[in-house]
Chain A
Amino acid sequence: MLRPLLISLLALFLAGEAMAQLPSKFTTTPTEKGPVIEFLDGDFAVGNGAEFPAQGFQRAASPNIIRVRDKNWRTGDFHSMVGRFSFDRSALGREPLALYTVSTRNQFTVLVNGREIGRNFAQPGDQVLAWYRPYLFPLAADSLVAGRNWVEVRANSQDSLAIGRIIIGPNSAIRANYSTQFFWQITAPMAASFAMLVLGALAFLFWLGRRQEAELAWLSLSTVLWFLRNYQYFAEVTPFQMDVFNALTVYATYFASVATAAFYFCFTKLPKRNTIILALFLLGIPLAIAHSWYAASNLVFYIPTTLLIFGVAFHALFDVFRNPNIEHGAIGLAMMTVPFFSVYDVTIANGHRGWNGNGFYLSVFGGFQYSVAFLISFGKRALDAFAELATANVTLEQRIAEARTELAASEAARQQLVVGQALASERERLMQEMHDGIGSNLITALAVARQQKQPTSTIKTLNRALADLKITVDSLEPVEGDVVALIGNLRHRMQGDLRDAGVVCKWEVEQCRTLPWLDASNALHVLRIFQEAIGNVLSHSQATEIRIGCREQPREGEEGILAYIADNGIGFDVLNEAPGKGLANIRARARSLYGVLTSESNFSNGTMIELWLPYRRST
C-alpha cells in the first residue's frame, strides 16, 4: 500500500527533475493519418536488481541496448533500466494514437505522463521473452496533455536489457507496421518452425520404413534441434531458467548445424561421412565444456558453426555442379543460402549492438527452407520411382509379350519340325518303297526287255515309266524352293535323251531367289511342265537346239521368276494346239501353280513356252 505511493511520489519527483531537462530528439515521419515520431535519444538510468533505479539518469541514444557481456553481467541476475522521453503535444496529430515498441526487454511497463498504459507481464516473476517481440499500446484520448508530455519505460531482465525503439503516432498508421513486423518476427518463424517439425516427423516416419537412408534420420533430428534453437524467436515466456534456456539455444545452434551437415553428407554420399559426422558431434563436447564451465563467449559455438555452414555450402556448390538436377539442385541451393542468411543476420539485422528492432532475422527460416527443399527432392525421387515402376511394368509386360511370342514361335517351329520329321520319314519310306519295289522291278523289266530285244515301243514305255518315277522322286527331294536346282536336275536327267535326239541344249539360267511355296507337289508340277515341254521338243519339233533358262522378272507389278523353253524347230499352230493334250496339261499345271503360261509358235522361229511363277502367292 505504501510502496506504490512512494513510487508515485518518487516518479513525480523524478518527473519534476526531468522536466527541467531538454526535450528528447525525435524524427517525424508524416503519414496520411498524421505525423509519426520516433525518439532518437532519451534519459536512461540503469540499476542492478529487479528494482527500477530512481536516479542517475543520463542522456543517451535510443534504442538503448545492454548485452550481458557488455557489462560482465551474469545471465540469471536481474538488472533494470528506466528510460524517459519527452515531446510536445504539437508534434502529433489529433487522431487516436498508439505507442509502438520493439526490442524492449524483457519485462517492461510503459507510462505516459506518469500513468501506466501497458505492460507485457502479469507479475514480476514472469520470465518473459520480449527481445524479438513487437508491442503496440493504444493510447487513451486523454493520455496526452497540451504542451510537454512524458513517456517512461521501465524494464528489467535476467538477460540482456534494453529499451528499444519507441514510436508514437496515429494508431492506424503504426498498427500496419506493427502487423508486418509481428508477422515476420513471430508468426512466420513460428509457422515455419512448426511446419519444419512436421516435415521432420514425416522424414522420421519415412526413415522407419527405409532404415538404410540415414539422411532421413539426420533430417528428422536436425529439425528438432533447429526448433529448439528457433524457439527463442517466438516464445512468449522462457520455459525454464533463463541461463539454462540461453545455453540450450546456443548449443542447439551448433548441434543443429552438425545434424544438417550430417543429413546433407548422407544425401550427397560424401565419402567417410560417418567419421566426419562423429568428429563434428564429438567436437561439440569440449565446446560445451568451455562454454558452460569456463563461461566462454557464445563465440566458441558460433565460430565453428559458421565454419561448418560455409563448408557445407562449398560442398553443395561442388555437388550441384556434379549433379545438375532437381534432387541435388533444390537441397544444394538451400545449403548454399544458409551462410548468406547468417551473414545477413550478423551484419544487417544485428547492427553493431545486437538486434535493434529494424527488420528481422533470416536464419530462423533456414531449417524450414531446406526441409522443404528435401521434400521437393524426395518428391522428385518418389515421382521418378513411380515413373520407373510404371516403365518397368510396361517393359515387363513387353518382355512377357515378347517371351510369349517367342514361345509361340518356338512351339510352332517345334510343331513344324515334328511335321517335317514325320514328312521326311514318310518320304524316306516312300523312296525306299519306290527304290526296292517299283523301281527295282522296272529296272529289271527294262534290262530283260533290252536283253530279249523286245519291241522298241515296250522299251520306250518302260523307259518313260522309269523317267516318270525319277521325276516323282526328284520332286520329293528337299530343295528348299530352289527352282533353278530343280529344273537343273531335270536337265541333268534328260541329258542323255537330248544327246540321243541330237539336240544341243543351251542353258541360260540366272541366279534367282527361292520360291517359298515350292513343296513336293508344286515341285512335281514344275518338273512335269518342263518334262512335257522338253518331251514335245524332242518328239515333234525337229529342232536342233533348245534353250532353257530362267530369270527374275516382275509381272503386273508382282515379283516372280520367268522360266522358258525355246526351240528352233518347226513350231505348231498355237490356236489349234497341235501337239495334242500336252499343252493343255501344261496350262492346267501352271494354273495350279498360280503361274502364267504363255506359248508362242511360228513356222520360222520354232516354239517358245514361258512359265511365270510369282514369288508370293496372293490368296
Chain B
Amino acid sequence: MIRVAIIEDDPVMRGLLSGAVEACDDMMVTATADNVAAASGMIEAGGYDVLLCDLGLPDGNGVTLIRQEALTGRDTDILVITIFANQNKVLDAIRAGARGYLLKDERIEDCIEAIRNIRRGGSPISPIIARQLLGQIGPEQSNAPVPLASPLSEREYEVLNLLSRGFSNSECAEILTVSANTIGTHVKNIYRKLEVNSRAEALFEASSHGLLARQ
C-alpha cells in the first residue's frame, strides 16, 4: 500500500488527485494540505510514502516544504506538481529534495503511474532538464571552483547525454543494453546527486561567507 500525502491549493486539482489515488487498490491518501502552514504540520506528523507538492501556495513556496520533508531523513518520495515542468521550478524542487514531477494536465492514469514508478525507484526527466543537469553536474568539472561532492558516474553521464538528445527511457535502455527501469533509477540517482551537490555548495558558500562557524 502506497500512502500518499497531497499539498495543493487548487481544490479541483486536489480533489482530482486524491480521488484518483483513492480509486486505486494499492494506494491511499493519508493527508492533504492547501497551504504552507497546514502542510508544515502535516510533514511533522509524517505517515506517508509519497508526497505530492505544489509549488505556488497562497502563503509561500512549496520548495520550503520539500526541503523540510527532505531534512526529516524519511524514505519519502517527493513529486512536484507542476503545469509546465519548466526547468527552473523543477530543478529548484530537486535541489530541495524532490525526485520527480507530475504535470497537472497529464491524464490522471499517467499521474498514478508516475507515483507507482517513483516508488519503484524511477524518476521522470525532460530533455531540457537533462541538458541543464549535464551542464551543472557534468562528469569532469576540473575547472570548477569547488570539486563536486558527488560527481556523476560515467554511466550516469551517458544516460543524461542520451536523454538530453530526446531519446526516451526505453530507447536509452536499448542503446545502453539495460532495462528501461534502470534508466529511471539512474535519473533518480542523478537527482539525488544534484541535491547532495547543491547542499555541499550551499555549505561551502555559507562557510566561505563566514555564516557558519568553523569547528
* Residues on A facing B (Cβ under 8 Å): 428, 431, 434-436, 439-440, 442-444, 446-448, 451, 463, 466, 469-470, 473-474, 477, 479, 482, 484-489, 491-492, 495-496, 505, 507, 509, 511
Q: Given A436-B56, A496-B107, A507-B166, are A489 and B126 neighbors across the interface (CB < 8 Å)?
A: yes
Interface contacts beyond A447-B13, A477-B86, A485-B128: sample of 6 additional A-B pairs, CB < 8 Å, sorted by A: A442-B105, A444-B12, A474-B86, A488-B127, A489-B126, A509-B166
A479 touches B12 (CB 8 A): no
Q: Please, which residues of chain B bring their CB within 8 A of the CB of A443?
A: 10, 13, 83, 104-105
Quick one: which of B12, B13, B107, B131 has the most chain A CB within 10 A? Answer: B131
Q: Please, which residues of chain A bring their CB within 8 A of the CB of B127?
A: 485, 488-489, 491-492
* Residues on B facing A (Cβ under 8 Å): 10, 12-13, 16, 56, 83-84, 86-89, 104-107, 110, 126-128, 130-131, 164-168, 171
Q: Please, which residues of chain A bring their CB within 8 A of the CB of B130?
A: 485
Tell me the smallest distance from the CB of B174 to a CB of chain A, in Å: 11
Q: Please, which residues of chain A bring their CB within 8 A of the CB of B131?
A: 479, 482, 485
A440 touches B83 (CB 8 A): yes
A439 touches B107 (CB 8 A): no
Q: Given A439-B83, A474-B128, A485-B127, are A428 and B167 neighbors across the interface (CB < 8 Å)?
A: no
A492 touches B86 (CB 8 A): no
Interface residues of A: mostly helix, strand, loop or mixed? helix
Contact of B166 among A440, A448, A488 (CB under 8 A): A488
Closest to A444 in B: B12
Tell me the smallest distance from the CB of B180 to a CB of chain A, in Å: 14
Q: Please, which residues of chain A bring their CB within 8 A of the CB of B13?
A: 443-444, 447
B168 touches A495 (CB 8 A): yes
A473 touches B84 (CB 8 A): yes
Q: Please, which residues of chain A bring their CB within 8 A of the CB of B110?
A: 496
CA distance A436 to B166 in the complex (A): 28
B56 touches A509 (CB 8 A): no
A479 touches B16 (CB 8 A): no
Q: Please, which residues of chain B bring their CB within 8 A of the CB of A466?
A: 105
B166 touches A491 (CB 8 A): yes
CB<8 Å pairs between A and B, sample of 22: A431-B84, A431-B86, A431-B88, A435-B84, A435-B86, A439-B83, A440-B10, A443-B104, A444-B12, A446-B105, A447-B12, A451-B16, A470-B84, A473-B84, A477-B128, A482-B164, A484-B164, A485-B128, A485-B131, A485-B165, A486-B128, A492-B168
CA distance A434 to B86 in the complex (A): 11
Q: Please, which residues of chain A bring their CB within 8 A of the CB of B16?
A: 447, 451
Tell me the smallest distance from the CB of B82 to a CB of chain A, in Å: 8
Tell me the smallest distance from the CB of A504 to a CB of chain B, in Å: 11
CA distance A466 to B105 in the complex (A): 8
Q: Please, which residues of chain A bring their CB within 8 A of the CB of B10?
A: 440, 443-444
Q: Please, which residues of chain B bring their CB within 8 A of the CB of A484?
A: 164-166
A428 touches B88 (CB 8 A): yes
Q: Please, which residues of chain A bring their CB within 8 A of the CB of B88?
A: 428, 431
B164 touches A485 (CB 8 A): yes
Tell me the smallest distance from the CB of B140 to a CB of chain A, in Å: 18
Q: Please, which residues of chain A bring their CB within 8 A of the CB of B84?
A: 431, 434-435, 439, 469-470, 473-474
B83 touches A489 (CB 8 A): no
A509 touches B165 (CB 8 A): yes
A489 touches B166 (CB 8 A): yes
Q: Please, which residues of chain B bring their CB within 8 A of the CB of A509?
A: 165-167
A492 touches B87 (CB 8 A): no
Q: Please, which residues of chain B bring their CB within 8 A of the CB of A436?
A: 56
Q: Given A431-B88, A485-B131, are A507 and B167 neighbors across the interface (CB < 8 Å)?
A: yes
CA distance A434 to B107 in the complex (A): 21
CA distance A429 to B169 in the complex (A): 33
CA distance A446 to B108 in the complex (A): 12
Quick one: which of A477, A482, A486, A511 has the most chain B CB within 10 A? Answer: A477
Tell me the smallest distance from the CB of A42 to a CB of chain B, in Å: 102
Contact of A507 among B12, B104, B168 (CB under 8 A): B168
CA distance A491 to B126 in the complex (A): 10
Q: Please, which residues of chain A bring their CB within 8 A of the CB of B89?
A: 435
CA distance A496 to B103 in the complex (A): 12
CA distance A484 to B163 in the complex (A): 11
B86 touches A473 (CB 8 A): yes
Q: Please, which residues of chain A bring their CB within 8 A of the CB of B171?
A: 507
CA distance A469 to B84 in the complex (A): 9
